Amino acid sequence: MANPLYGANKNDDFQDKCFLTVHSESLGAANQLYINIPFDCTVVKVSYAVTTALTTAKSTIVMKTAAGTLGGGAFEIAHEAAVGTVGEFVPTSNNTVEAGATLEIENDASPGAGQACFTIVVKQR
């Protein structure tokens, strides 16, 4: 099926994928987000948008499934990230999730402040 969109966004890369969006707690305090995944899938990438500017230090993000830490190691949101800064993490292994399992997003509390919105791109299996 051809992409029905017109204009600059004609990328078919979104087909057969689902998007889950979650908001972080303060990145200035260590915490974890636990996202229940309702279907078997593979995490393709995690995009983020900073919603509260980071201060003093970067935020190190670790994502985990039941198989362990998503391959690619720890990911970082730079300390100079302002509101509206965007980026993405691309896991390389341990990125399959079974229906009913959780995906964990953990931060290290390094910045004095900061918050982000994460969009998790998954491909159903």
User: Within 13 A of 52's CA, how many CA atoms are on the CB side?
Assistant: 13
Say which CATH number the domain at 58 has.
2.60.120
Q: What is the pLDDT of residue 33?
A: 93
Let me know if residue 75 belongs to a domain: yes
For every residue of 74-112, DSSP letters joined together read: -EEE-TTPPTT-EEEE---SS-EE-TT-EEEEEE---SS
pTM score of the predicted model: 0.85
Let me know if residue 12 belongs to a domain: no
Q: Which three-class secondary structure state does DSSP give residue 39? A: coil
Query: How many folded domains does the chain comprise?
Result: 1
Structural tokens at position 100: 């009913």
Express as a percent the part of the chain with pLDDT over 90.
77
Q: What is the pLDDT of residue 48?
A: 96
Let me know if residue 5 belongs to a domain: no
User: Which residue range is the domain that position 110 belongs to?
Assistant: 17-124
Average per-residue pLDDT for the chain: 89
* Segment 44-100, tens digit of pLDDT: 999 999 999 999 999 999 999 988 899 887 899 999 899 999 999 999 899 999 999
Would the pLDDT of 4 be above 90? no
**Segment 97-120 mean pLDDT:** 94
Taking Cα atoms as reference points, which of 86, 88, 87, 89 lies closest to residue 70?
89
Let me know if residue 72 belongs to a domain: yes
pLDDT grade for 7, boundaries at 50, 70 and 90:
low
